[in-house]
Structure 1
Amino acid sequence: MIAYSIPFLCWLFFGATVAGIFGALLGIGGGMFIVPIMVLGFHLPMKYAVAASIVSVIATSNAGGSSYVEKRIANIKLAMYLEIFTTFGAIAGAALALHLAEWLMLLVFALLTLYMGYGSFTTRNLDEQRIAAGSFNTPPTGTLAKKLDIHGAYYDQSLKQEVPYHVTGLGLGGIISVLAGLCSGLLGVGGGILKVSAMNRYMNVPMKVSVGTSKLMIGITAAVSSLVFFLAGTLHFSLVGPVALGTTLGANIGTSIMNRLRSRDLKLVFTVVVLYMSYSMIAKAIQLHWGIHLPSFGA
């Protein structure tokens, strides 16, 4: 049993709170931020960080997801459809995480965040353009999309207007959700990192609905993965406590302000944060495997 000091756990709680705020704003559970914080800032082993993060994702999903449902931002029907695919990937990812080398996990995490930062920046004006053109409300043409007929509307506080939408691209969304589940189990990020981008970019779902729907789903995905880590003995409950409490507090704060911000601003903040974290994780991987030191946070 590893003992952690009180100041260490307090700082970990603070870091988790910040991660929870960003996670709620972007619908990605906080794991994308708490894992680098734990590995780079607190020098914890990657597998311990992933295991603690995946449990905290359950807490943040409960805190943020219910609020987004009440505000009619999350789409429950879409969440249930995508979660069928994500769960299978989550089991495979968690099993794989127990066998991969730490430097390789760091590298995979970094490349994933690098891609997501690029995608977020290149689509930063997408929502405003689609809302202005009314293209979110275009009826679907695909057979599966027509049959399931997933649609909805939400009130955008920043734009002060109702935004109706019809979901398309359900086949591609299912494939990406399997990959999202794989990333969730492997990296402790809840899967939202891929699902938010997939829903917004390929399924004609507004950014804020993507965030709310992802927040609703990630707890289910994380619960499946956490069982694998628990059985493998990599869950340290002294780490899980402050991380879960901090991310839950942060999730409540982030959820309360998300709909007041412009989608473009959310994506720009996301891009800046994840690009630096991606670089830091690459630097850590290079240091562990090749012994080459690059300047970065916590290295």
Structure 2
Amino acid sequence: LHEQVDYEVENVPGGMTIMFGAGLASGLLGIGSGAFKVMALDNVMKMPLKPSSATSNLMMGVTAAASATIYFFNGSIRPDIAVPLSLGIIVGAALGSRIMQHMPSRWLRIIFVPILAYLGLQMAFKAFGVTI
């Protein structure tokens, strides 16, 4: 819309609690936990979806840096695999960030919800040993 939208952030302690859980999940499971962060910012803290997504993206870098440092120094990261994947992520993230600027928030939700449902189902199936 190319207009400034003013908003007030609510329930910062509740958001911080969910972010703690997101960081814990990220460190334990090796996931970015961006879905948890976007839900916390959007639903609990009442931020609009686009600033929630952008803030989550920044925080994922912080989360990843904290975990990656530990994993790197204990030898868990293979640079021969991580470097090419990182290049793909950089290009994809730059493109996605530019597209998000022009996409209505409603469409972002329409895309986000099925992806979140798919990831949840996939993790549940794997937890019970079901392969698809």
C-alpha distance in 2 between matches for 1:198 and 1:234: 30
User: Unmatched 5+ residue regions in structure 2?
Assistant: none
Residue of structure 1 aligned with 2:61, choices 203, 219, 241: 219
C-alpha distance in 2 between matches for 1:202 and 1:282: 25
User: Unmatched 5+ residue regions in structure 1?
Assistant: 1-156, 288-292
Q: 1:164 matched to which residue of 2?
A: 6
Q: CA offset at residue 230 of structure 1?
A: 1.7
Q: CA offset at residue 198 of structure 1?
A: 0.8
Higher RCO (CA < 8 A, seq sep 6+): 1
How does the TM-score come out when normalised to structure 1?
A: 0.41
Q: 1:276 to 1:208 in 2, by over 3 A?
A: same
Once the two structures are superposed, what CA deviation does each residue of 1:102-149 show, in whole Å capped at 9, x if it has no partner? xxxxxxxxxxxxxxxxxxxxxxxxxxxxxxxxxxxxxxxxxxxxxxxx
Q: 1:247 matched to which residue of 2?
A: 89
Q: 2:77 matched to which residue of 1?
A: 235
Aligned residue pairs total 132
Q: CA offset at residue 210 of structure 1?
A: 0.7
Q: 2:41 matched to which residue of 1?
A: 199
Letter in 2 for 1:219: G
* Matching of residues 174-193 of structure 1 within 5 Å: 174-193=16-35
C-alpha distance in 2 between matches for 1:234 and 1:225: 11
Once the two structures are superposed, what CA deviation does each residue of 1:269-299 show, in whole Å capped at 9, x if it has no partner? 1222232233233333333xxxxx55x2xxx
Residue of structure 1 aligned with 2:124, choices 282, 286, 293: 282
C-alpha distance in 2 between matches for 1:191 and 1:276: 14
C-alpha distance in 1 between matches for 2:98 and 2:88: 16
C-alpha contact 2:35 2:116 (8 A) present in aligned 1: no
Once the two structures are superposed, what CA deviation does each residue of 1:226-280 show, in whole Å capped at 9, x if it has no partner? 1221233211111101210001000011011102112221122122223223323
Q: CA offset at residue 215 of structure 1?
A: 1.4
C-alpha distance in 2 between matches for 1:162 and 1:271: 26
Q: Find the residue that maps to 1:165 and give its secondary structure.
A: coil
Moved more, 276-285 or 214-223: 276-285
C-alpha distance in 1 between matches for 2:45 and 2:127: 34
C-alpha distance in 2 between matches for 1:217 and 1:245: 19
C-alpha distance in 2 between matches for 1:277 and 1:190: 12
C-alpha distance in 2 between matches for 1:223 and 1:261: 29
Say which structure is richer in strand.
Answer: 1
Letter in 1 for 2:72: F
C-alpha distance in 2 between matches for 1:277 and 1:191: 11
How does the TM-score come out when normalised to structure 2?
A: 0.87
Q: Which runs of 4+ in 1 moved over 6 A?
A: none
Q: Find the residue that maps to 2:31 and give its secondary structure.
A: coil
Letter in 1 for 2:125: A
